[in-house]
Amino acid sequence: MPAFSNKCINYIPIIFCVLLAACSSVPKLESGAVAPIVELPEDREELGLLSAYNDPWEGFNRRMYYFNAKADEYVLLPIVDRYKQITPDIVETGLSNFFNNLGEISTFINSLLQFKFSVAGETFGRFTLNSTLGLAGLIDVATPIGFAEQNEDFGQTLGFWGVGSGPYLVLPLLGPSSLRDATGLVFDALADQQSMDVLGMKSDEELYLSLVNSIDARARLPFRYYASGSAFEYEYLKLLYKKYREIQVAR
Amino acid sequence: MRILSVLLVIILAACSSMEDEVEVEVALPVCDFEYSRYQATVTGYCQEPAADLPESLDVIHKRITIKPLDEISEVFWFNKKMKYSLIKQEATAPLIFIIAGTGASYDSAKMVSLQKSFFQQGYHIISISSPTYANFIVNSPNTKYMPGDLAHDAEDLYKVMNLVWAQVQSEDEVEASSFSITGYSLGGAHSAFIALLDEEEQVFNFEKVLLINPPVSLYNSVSILDQYFDLRNNREASVAMFDEIFARFSNIYSMQRSSTFDQSSIYNLFKNAELTEDELKLLIGASFRMSSSDMIFAIDVSFNTGAITYKNHTIDKLESLTHSMQRASDITFGDYFDRAMLPRAQREDANITKADLIQRYSLHAIEDYLKASDKIYLVTSQDDIILQAGEVEYLQSIFAERAKIFPRGGHCGNLDRLSFVEYLQATFQGERN
């Protein structure tokens, strides 16, 4: 999920290229295996939504999905729990608001890039209010008085300009994405970094901050791997991600 | 219904600027949708005010080994051990078991509504997934009887209940003054069969048994749901309708001022989408099909039936399952009945016919018991979509004064509504210690 903005993103494309080619998800059948009784329709188009999205990198994606589920259980969630334990609620909310407020900058840039001036205006209003009256973003004063939070990222901007989503891609720790959206993520992360630079932060402070930002983002996401209990969760999530992004881009 | 959770998953899984946790149970004033039994089934009977229930509960999520873990396929690595939950009172209290509906887990949204009601009334609560839920199927040592075979499901559930009860006594020091059991939808029918079994086994000696929106005949009910999403005879139209619904949601979302999703904007989405009756049916049918796909896959893996997977093949945990999901979408429950349940039953008894089985998997099979047993209660809606013409009257005649039939609510659409919760309170009141 693109919510984590993390410096490591910069290396990821290289690792991908190595890994993507390496795995396959085609079943290795034993000699006694018998083909399933229920046949697939000859024309896959007939399946509609269930075959709407190709997944050329499925082998890699499934591996990563499995890795993410394990990493979530053994690393991320324990950290999140600890974070929630030691941080008073009011501090948690304050930090969440603070990071949201920083995020307004890339929303603002991206709405301008899509000529969505009303969205840009509203976001600018939020940012100004929250940065001043809201004490550098720690308090969200804009939402209660009717400035709605908007959501535009560089993936959507690319989509707006007609860039197709490209193959589905499961990112390490971040989860569902696509080639286009992962590219957008790098841009948005750079924008975030710029805003922190403008605030005059040193690089180790920035590192801490993005770490806390990542933990905060995970803490706010109620998603739990395999809470659905379904063996098809990978498929469902892929469909939902693709659909959701289409809807967002169309907006 | 599941479509709401599907929408929620879209939001939760995909969005980059989540603000507050989206809570399913946010108390809202009544909605102003046009009422229909389908709408009530999908969005809940939101025209009636919600009951005043606790916002959240201290749920103890538990796991128990039922089947040796190394016998469970690696493709279900995340489903090793059976999951259930315990919600306990401070002191000794009556205990109620709740059994989930078709394809649902111990912590589905409807289970949570029931848990809140019973907790408020002073019960310890043990929640158990449906025997049609993948986690239950792959952890059950049974590889002989197909889920949906009510009497055998009840035996399975009964064993699980015994093990679970022993576990919570030793690990959580739960002390129960009495036992009751309830369940919604298929879980309601299961409760009745379990109550009958307990008359012989005498382990729990249930004080009260409540069937909530049960099917009368499993076969009739699922035949209705099969028709809602008719991929077999009407694939093109169904697929097109799906795209149309998505397109409409998408349009409404783009017109909405804020990009956030919360309970009220989801309601808004539904309101403005003005879904037709056929579209609502499609959503209900599709969500049913989704859970039956999960069920069929779990059965295939556990029983080596080879319907949508390769028979005699060990599925690797990283192997593509897309083909199985696509194949599953083509199976109606009718097929499952004819091609899986019937042959299984005939293996045991060659003379058995389809009509016999339809009878066996229905409340008709234990009609005399239901009529005679004073502790068994029934609550449903006059317009429950899973009941065929005449079945409400049948329930009324069997349960007589122990039946409560609400005029509205669709299928389980009113479990967290005021009058329903008041009914629960009135029915279970005598048991409070």
What CA–CA distances, in Å, run from B386 to A163, B105, B213, B390?
46, 20, 9, 12
- Token couple for A9: 């993103």
Q: Are residues B302 and B376 in the same domain?
A: no
Of B13, B230, B112, B405, nearest to A174 (Cα)? B13
Taking residues B289-318, report their average pLDDT: 90
pLDDT of B16 reads: 30
Interface of A with B in 150-189 (CB under 8 A): 150-153, 175-176
Same domain, B204 and B238: no
A244 and B307 within 8 Å at the Cβ level: the answer is no
For A31-55, what is the mean pLDDT?
80
Question: B13, A241: Cβ pair inside 8 Å?
Answer: yes
Final residue before a domain boundary, out of B322, B348, B374: B348
Does residue B79 have a pLDDT over 80? yes
- The answer on pLDDT for A27 being more than 80 is no
For B252, list phi and psi in degrees, rounded to 5: -65, -40
State percent of chain B over pLDDT 70: 89
- In sequence order, what DSSP letters do the residues of B336-401 get, joined into one string? HIIIIIHHHHHHH-TT--HHHHHHHTBGGGGHHHHHH-TTEEEEEETT-TTSPTTHHHHHHHHHGG
Contact (CB<8Å) B242/A250: no
Q: How confident is the model at residue B117 (pLDDT cuts 50, 70, 90)?
A: very high
From A58, which residue of chain B is nearest by alpha-carbon distance?
Answer: B320
Best mutation target, B7, B16, B269, to test chain A (most A CBs within 10 A): B16
A88 touches chain B (CB under 8 A): no
Q: Are B73 and B207 in the same domain?
A: yes
Last residue of a domain, one of B300, B315, B348: B348
pLDDT averaged over every residue in chain A? 82
B92 token code pair: 């000794």
Strand B124-128 relative to strand B93-99: parallel, antiparallel, unpaired? parallel
Question: Which helix (H) or strand (E) element contains residue A195?
Answer: helix A179-198
- B315 interface with A at CB cutoff 8 Å: yes
CA B404 to CA B382: how far, in whole Å? Answer: 10
A251–B253 CB contact, under 8 Å:
yes
Question: Do B75 and B191 have their domain in common?
Answer: yes
User: Is the domain of B129 the same as that of B261?
Assistant: no
Report which of residues B193 and A80 the model is more confident about: B193
Instruction: Give the pLDDT confidence of A132-161 residue by residue, as tens digits.
Output: 888 888 888 888 887 888 888 888 888 888
pLDDT digits (tens, 9 = 90+) for B236-285: 777 777 777 777 777 777 776 666 656 666 677 777 788 888 888 988 88
Handedness of CA B23, B25, B30, B36 (dihedral sign): positive
| Contact between A241 and B14 using a beta-carbon 8 Å cutoff | yes
- Which residues in chain A are contacts of B290 at CB distance < 8 A? 236
Q: Among all residues of chain A, which has the CA nearest to that of B335?
A: A38
Q: How many structural domains does chain B have?
A: 2
Under an 8 A CB cutoff, do B322 and A38 touch? Answer: no
Q: Could you read off the pLDDT of B161-213 as tens digits, one per residue?
A: 999 999 999 999 999 999 999 999 999 999 999 999 999 999 999 999 999 99
Nearest to B270 by CA among B39, B108, B50, B110: B39
Distance from CA of A64 to the nearest CA of B (A): 10
Is residue B60 within 8 Å of residue B86, measured between CB atoms? yes
Q: Do A46 and B320 touch (CB under 8 A)?
A: no
Q: Which residues, in sequence order, are CB contacts of A232 under 8 Å at separation 6+?
A: B293, B294, B297, B321, B324, B325
Q: Which residue from B10, B15, B46 is spatially nearest to B270, judged by alpha carbons?
A: B46
- The reply to whether B69 and B189 lie within a common domain is yes
Among candidates A50, A62, A66 on the partner chain, residue whose Cβ is nearest the Cβ of B326: A50
In the stretch 336-355 of chain B, residues with CB closer than 8 A to chain A read 339
Count of alpha carbons within 13 angstroms of residue B408, beta-carbon side:
15
Q: Indicate whether B66 and B157 sit together in one domain.
A: yes
Of B348, B378, B396, which one is at a domain's C-terminal end?
B348
pLDDT attached to residue B18 = 31
Residue-range definition of the domain harbouring residue B85: 60-216+366-431
In whole angstroms, how far apart are CA B194 and each of A70, B112, B157? 37, 22, 8
- Between B306 and B375, where is the model more confident? B375
In chain A, the residue whose alpha carbon lies closest to the alpha carbon of B295 is A230
Q: Are B17 and A25 inside 8 Å of each other by CB?
A: no
CB contact under 8 A, B259 and A149: yes
The average confidence (pLDDT) of chain B is 87
Task: Inspect the interface and report whether the beta carbons of B15 and A50 lie closer than 8 Å.
Answer: no
Instruction: Provide, rounded to the nearest whole percent, the portion of chain A with pLDDT above 90.
Output: 18
Interface of B with A in 131-170 (CB under 8 A): 133-135
Q: How large a percentage of chain B has pLDDT more than 90?
A: 64
Which residues of chain A make contact with B297, given a CB cutoff of 8 A?
231-232
CA angle A64, A69, A72 (to 5 degrees): 115
Q: Is B121's pLDDT higher than 60? A: yes
Q: Least CB-CB distance to B14: which of A27, A107, A240? A: A240
d(CA B125, CA B97): 6
Predicted local confidence at residue B432, as pLDDT: 44
Which residues fall within 8 angstroms of residue B401, CB to CB, at 6 or more apart? Answer: none
Lowest mean pLDDT among A9-23, B324-338, B418-432: A9-23
Return the amino acid letter for A139.
Answer: I
Classify residue B337: in a domain, yes or no: yes
Bridge partner list, B380:
B405
Could you identify the residue written with the tokens 């945990």? B317
The answer to whether the CB atoms of A23 and B235 lie below 8 A apart is: no
For residue B152, pLDDT over 90 is answered with: yes
Q: State the DSSP code for A73.
A: I
The larger pLDDT score, comparing residue B322 to residue A137, is at B322
Would the CB atoms of B320 and A49 count as touching at under 8 Å? no
Backbone angles phi, psi at A213, to 5 degrees: -60, -45
Asked if A228's CB is within 8 angstroms of B75's CB, the reply is: no
Higher-pLDDT residue of A240, B233 = A240
Looking at the complex, report in whole angstroms how far the Cα of residue B305 sits from the nearest Cα belonging to chain A.
9
B118 within 8 A of B125, measured Cβ to Cβ: yes
- pLDDT above 70 coverage of chain A, percent: 90
Q: How far is A210 from chain B (nearest CA, A)?
A: 15
CATH of the domain at B112: 3.40.50.1820
Q: What is the pLDDT of residue B17?
A: 30
> Range with the lowest mean pLDDT among A228-242, B87-101, B312-326, B335-349?
B335-349
**Binning pLDDT at 50, 70 and 90, where does residue B379 land?**
very high
Does A106 score more than 70 pLDDT? yes
Contact list in A for residue B75 (CB cut-off 8 A) is 231
Instruction: For residues B375-381, give the mean pLDDT.
Output: 97
Q: At B9, is the pLDDT very low, low, confident or very high (cuts 50, 70, 90)?
A: very low
| Nearest of B314, B319, B321, B300 to residue A32 by alpha carbon | B314
ipTM, interface predicted TM-score of the complex: 0.82
Question: Is A246 an 8 Å CB contact of chain B?
Answer: yes
Q: CB distance B12–A30 less than 8 Å?
A: no
- Spatial separation of the C-alpha atoms in residues B380 and B215, rounded to whole Å: 10
Tally Cβ neighbours within 10 Å of residue B286.
22
How would you list the strands of the sheet with B60-64, edge to edge? B60-64, B82-87, B124-128, B93-99, B176-184, B208-212, B376-381, B403-406
pLDDT value for A13: 56
Query: A148 and B259 in contact by Cβ < 8 A?
Result: yes
Pair of tokens at residue B229: 């999403």
* 66-125 in chain B: CB under 8 A from chain A: 75-76, 78-79, 105
Is residue B356 domain-resident?
Answer: no
Distance of CA B265 to the CA centre of its chain: 26
Question: Closest chain B residue to A4 measured between Cα atoms?
Answer: B16
Nearest-by-Cβ selection for B330 from A33, A38, A62: A38
Residue A233's pLDDT band, with cuts at 50, 70 and 90, is very high
